[in-house]
Amino acid sequence: MGLLIGMDIGGTNIVCGLVDEEGRLMNKIKKTTEAHKGSEYVFDKIQSMIKELLQLSDVPLTDISAIGAGTPGFIDPVRGVTLFAGNLKWKDVPTAEEIRKRTGIPAFIDNDVRMYAYGEAVRGAAQGYEHVLGITIGTGLAAAVVNNGELYYGGGYMAGEIGHFTFPEHIPYVCGCGMTGCLETVASATGMARQAKDLLRGGRVSVLQEWFKDTSIDHLTAADVSRAYDLGDPVAVEVMNHTGRLLGRGLAYAVTMYSPDMIVIGGGGALAGERLFAPMREQLKQSVYSGYWERLAIATAQNIDDAGIIGSALSAGKRAATR
Amino acid sequence: MGLLIGMDIGGTNIVCGLVDEEGRLMNKIKKTTEAHKGSEYVFDKIQSMIKELLQLSDVPLTDISAIGAGTPGFIDPVRGVTLFAGNLKWKDVPTAEEIRKRTGIPAFIDNDVRMYAYGEAVRGAAQGYEHVLGITIGTGLAAAVVNNGELYYGGGYMAGEIGHFTFPEHIPYVCGCGMTGCLETVASATGMARQAKDLLRGGRVSVLQEWFKDTSIDHLTAADVSRAYDLGDPVAVEVMNHTGRLLGRGLAYAVTMYSPDMIVIGGGGALAGERLFAPMREQLKQSVYSGYWERLAIATAQNIDDAGIIGSALSAGKRAATR
């Protein structure tokens, strides 16, 4: 299928990578998105990034058989339209066609989490597993499913929004979606930081109080919670345990619906690692029928930064070849 | 594809139907399973039932292009093996091959709930919907998904066991699967009866106390709860509301994972109708992201008794034609 370009168009950055047909990332470049300048500006930037990437790699445009891009939000992958992406402030943007117009290369788009899961399923930690559930723990929490190399979409291409599982008994926060108690208000990098801040504001004793005594605790991040956890800080331990247990509860419902062989976990929040995964696994095992648990492997993403680019590229290559 | 035979092999009864290629049920016969006499006995009975059905319908065996059967429990539809069916006491039974041997007709099996959902999706209340979630409320609670006529299986063909969603905060019962708090211990015909019995044993005043003053309340059924509900009985109202709300919570998780356009509800417990569905819908609407709710239709099964037979027949016809 020749060479491929995979892209991750996020609210903060655009990453653009050259990928071979085996899913090896050969080169990548990254620029800030500057979404506030509008979609035309972003597409022009994408055009120049592709040009730069190819020059850098000494590859002519004619060697590229397809371009794939993952964008956040609701996507119509068949029509190639970004229906709604809050981070980019895009609504009904014909992303695939805009990229194709500027390059002359067949272009395809999909949801960024689906592309991440696809990348890990075909060329990452979940390679060789038939039924893969991928989750990304970032600003939010989302999931996607890949069965024998085929993505699961559901009606409106909306399947898998595990971040909007509600746990009203355990989660007091109002979510951006309008509901109260959504899992992603807790089980996300933002959510872990938020819980720690709330405990500190409630007067709980923590090493985090010291670290932020000269700065607003508004700047506290999930990485700070991880560092405090490693010192045995009780607030950090409580946040990780609470988050891990709720994530385990949510995964139990997801596993019962999809029956995956493998759960692969990525996104910035996954850097919490075993601090989060140990209570998550314990709760999941307890909350799911043993027949599911026994066939289940759980792993951290292999291409933690690049799975989305690799997935976008390979998915586009496959779609270009089969249409 | 000619004529088809669809069967529902349950723990209590076997139903065997002649179905045309449009999914019209032309004739059916029903016999008790007598599973305690062993699988050989059951297969011999199936053989004679098929013979009887064809004689009754004046159709020669040579007009039958495929036989499909739904059985409860865990099924390997590809190998045609009933892996485990508690109701039948079958373990690793090569059901499809046994039926084929006795008839000479290509035979296929699948899980009974999947066949029910398939029947409703292709020739029932969900016909015309692309993404269908079928649930059956019977002795237990189970779900299956059909996307554009394709069943969703997951790893080990185990996807969709919504009855084993746990709600430990709300459900005290131990389930046959070994977990505590499984949804089907409440949201099933058995579960509704069980809750009513427990409330009566706890001394709650109810018209049901009178109805069962000369008989053991062990004989109380979900149908009794429905009758008491219609008299405004507070125990029955509590059971229906509690069951409906928990079912709505469970469906919210299922809808978030699969994003169906249509939920079709069947099984004996569905006879509770709006008594159960009103609180279920209200809770589901409250517990699911509005984007899912807005695209969702909910209906009672159209072929409430026969969807499994029609689904088995049509699924077998399709599989025979494409293999």
Contact between chains at A131 and B166 (C-beta distance less than 8 A): no
Mind telling me how many Å the CA of B194 is from chain A's nearest CA? Answer: 22
Instruction: Calculate the alpha carbon distances from A66 to A119, B55, B315 in Å.
Output: 16, 60, 37
To test the contact with chain A by mutation, choose from B111, B183, B253, B298 the residue with the greatest count of A C-beta atoms within 10 A, namely B253
Per-residue pLDDT of chain B (323 residues; tens, 9 = 90+): 589 999 999 988 999 999 999 999 999 999 999 999 999 999 999 999 999 999 999 999 999 999 999 998 899 999 999 999 888 999 999 999 999 999 999 999 999 999 999 999 999 999 999 999 999 999 899 999 999 999 999 999 999 999 999 999 999 999 989 999 999 999 999 999 999 999 999 999 999 999 999 999 999 999 999 999 999 999 999 999 999 999 999 999 999 999 999 999 999 999 999 999 999 999 999 999 999 999 999 999 999 899 999 999 999 999 999 87
Question: Which residues in chain B are closer than 8 Å to A74, comparing Cβ atoms?
Answer: 291
Q: What is the CATH number of the domain that holds B134?
A: 3.30.420.40
Q: Are residues A151 and A65 in the same domain?
A: no
Is A114 touching B (CB cutoff 8 A)?
A: no
Contact between chains at B154 and A259 (C-beta distance less than 8 A): yes
Contact between chains at B158 and A292 (C-beta distance less than 8 A): yes
Q: Are residues B86 and B153 in the same domain?
A: no
The pLDDT tens digits for A126-178 are 999 999 999 999 989 999 999 999 999 999 999 999 999 999 999 999 998 89
Is position A209 within any domain?
yes
Q: Are residues B151 and B294 in the same domain?
A: yes
Q: Are residues B214 and B110 in the same domain?
A: no
Between positions 151 and 190 of A, the ones with CB within 8 A of B are: 152-162, 164-166, 168-169, 177-179
Is position A124 within any domain?
no
CA nearest to B249 within chain A: A166
Q: Are residues A48 and A148 in the same domain?
A: no
SS3 track for B250-314: HHHHHHHHHCCCEEEEECHHHHHCHHHHHHHHHHHHHHCCHHHHHCCEEEECCCCCCHHHHHHHH
Domain count of the fold of chain A = 2
CA nearest to A258 within chain B: B159
Is position A80 within any domain?
yes
To test the contact with chain A by mutation, choose from B174, B286, B289 the residue with the greatest count of A C-beta atoms within 10 A, namely B289
The pLDDT tens digits for B120-162 are 999 999 999 999 999 999 989 999 999 999 999 999 999 999 9
Q: Are residues A53 and A133 in the same domain?
A: no
Contact between chains at A257 and B169 (C-beta distance less than 8 A): no
Q: Are residues A284 and A183 in the same domain?
A: yes
Q: Are residues A249 and A100 in the same domain?
A: no
Contact between chains at A154 and B160 (C-beta distance less than 8 A): no
User: Which residue spans within chain B are E strands per DSSP?
Assistant: 3-9, 13-19, 25-32, 64-71, 74-76, 81-85, 90-93, 107-111, 131-137, 141-147, 150-151, 262-266, 297-300
Q: Are residues B46 and B181 in the same domain?
A: no
Instruction: Calculate the alpha carbon distances from B275 to B136, B193, B204, B245 in Å.
Output: 16, 14, 20, 11
To test the contact with chain B by mutation, choose from A177, A249, A253 the residue with the greatest count of B C-beta atoms within 10 A, namely A253
For residues B236 and B225, is the Cβ–Cβ distance under 8 A? yes
Contact between chains at B289 and A177 (C-beta distance less than 8 A): yes
Q: Are residues A226 and A265 in the same domain?
A: yes
Q: Are residues B211 and B282 in the same domain?
A: yes
Tell me which residue range forms the domain holding A23: 3-119+305-322
Q: Which of B159, B254, B258 sits opposite A259 (nearest CB)?
A: B159
Q: Are residues A147 and A275 in the same domain?
A: yes
Residue A101 φ/ψ region, left for φ over 0, alpha for ψ in the -120 to 50 degree band, beta for the rest? alpha
Q: Per DSSP, what are the bridge partners of residue A81?
A: A76
Q: Which of A156, A166, A260 sits opposite B154 (nearest CB)?
A: A260
Contact between chains at A156 and B259 (C-beta distance less than 8 A): yes
Rounded to the nearest 5 percent, the helix, strand and coil shares of chain B are 45, 25, 30
The pLDDT score that the predictor gives to residue B2 is 86
Determine whether B23 is exposed, middle or buried from the number of CB atoms within 10 Å of its CB (0-12, 13-18, 19+): buried
Instruction: Calculate the alpha carbon distances from B9 to B1, B32, B121, B308 in Å.
Output: 23, 10, 20, 10
Is A203 touching B (CB cutoff 8 A)?
A: no
